Amino acid sequence: MSLKCSTCGATNADSAVWCNQCYASFADANVEVEAPPVVIEFAPAQPERAAEAGGSVVTRQLPDPTGAGWTCKSCDSPNPIDTNECTVCGASIYSTFGAEEKERPNVEPRSVLLWALFLPGMGHFKTGNGLLGLTLAALILFSGIAAASFASSSQVAAATFFGVAHLSLWAVSVVDALSLANANRPILYGRRITVVAGTLVFVIIVQVITQLGGST
């Protein structure tokens, strides 16, 4: 530690009895004691540098070289994109982005399974993922109607494709509902659902164009 003169502000050794700049005595004067410096190092830390500086070391994780990640609002430390808590101070990612962590409904997996089996998308509703459940229910209904429509017009290949898609989506929705009930990540979410929906629409368009071309 060091002594700071209250008269001129000069820094002196902690054993000094008078200021080396203005010669004020430290015997009766109030002097400020400076705290030891804190050395901030990016991991891995170097304890020997802290000893030289007479302070302590605060270790931070190196930034992700790919550029993907988030910066903690509390300690300004970089974190990997797949973590929900800061690796340095433990702050939640939700506090950084100003979002509140949604409480997951307390539901029984068995109840969710029954709802998902008999009513597509309802299992997702029971786990608090209503929008995702509604999207899956729409895709399942769409693929079922398409399969029935193509079957009635004797388009076997298209009817088979949409029939398989209908059953597959229903089965995956059941698995996903159970995953959500157990606080796990589902198979179909985000861009994956967009890809599935785009594929179904694309096949519909191709079949319509093919049918119109054959009729002419």
Give percent of the chain with pLDDT exceeding 90: 19
167/47: higher pLDDT: 167
| Number of Cβ within a 10 Å radius of residue 33 | 9
Location of structure tokens 């430290």: 26
Domain boundary among 96, 118, 142: 96
Do 138 and 54 share a structural domain? no
- CA-to-CA distance for 75 and 78, rounded, in angstroms? 9
Q: What one-character-per-residue DSSP string does 153-202 give?
A: TT-HHHHHHHHHHHHHHHHHHHHHHHHHHTT---SS-THHHHHHHHHHHH
**Are 27 and 38 within 8 A, CB to CB?**
no
57 located within any domain: yes
Q: Is 27 a domain residue?
A: no
Identify whether 191 is part of a domain: yes
Q: Give the count of domains, the chain.
A: 2
Domain-embedded: residue 189 = yes
61-76 per-residue burial string, b: 16 or more CB within 10 A, e: under 16: beeeeeeeebebeeee
Same domain? For 146 and 176 the reply is yes
User: 147 and 180: one domain?
Assistant: yes
Based on the fold, state whether residues 91 and 130 are members of the same structural domain. Answer: no
Considering the domain architecture, whether residues 131 and 177 belong to the same structural domain is answered as yes
User: 39-48, 91-100, 140-149, 176-185: which range is least confident on average?
Assistant: 39-48
Would you say residue 18 lies in a domain? no
* Domain identity same for 138 and 204: yes
Q: Which of 24, 23, 65 is nearest to 42 (CA)?
A: 65
Position 67 pLDDT exceeds 90: no
How high is the pLDDT of residue 4?
A: 77
Q: Are residues 115 and 194 in the same domain?
A: yes
Task: Name the residue range of residue 161's domain.
Answer: 109-215
**Whether residue 118 is found in the same domain as residue 83:** no
Inter-residue long-range contacts of 56-60, CB under 8 Å, 24+ positions, other chains counted: 59/88, 60/88
Domain shared by 126 and 61, yes or no: no
Question: Which is more confident, 166 or 68?
Answer: 166
> Which one has a higher pLDDT value, 100 or 190?
190
Tokens 């509390």 map to which residue?
74
Does 103 fall in a domain?
no
Residue 126 lies in a domain: yes
Same domain, 116 and 73: no
In a domain, 153, yes or no: yes
114-143 pLDDT, tens digit per residue, is 888 888 888 888 888 888 889 999 999 999
Cα separation, 78 vs 76, in Å, equals 7
Chosen domain end from 50, 72, 96: 96
The Cα-based distances of 14 to 5, 21, 24 in angstroms read 11, 15, 15
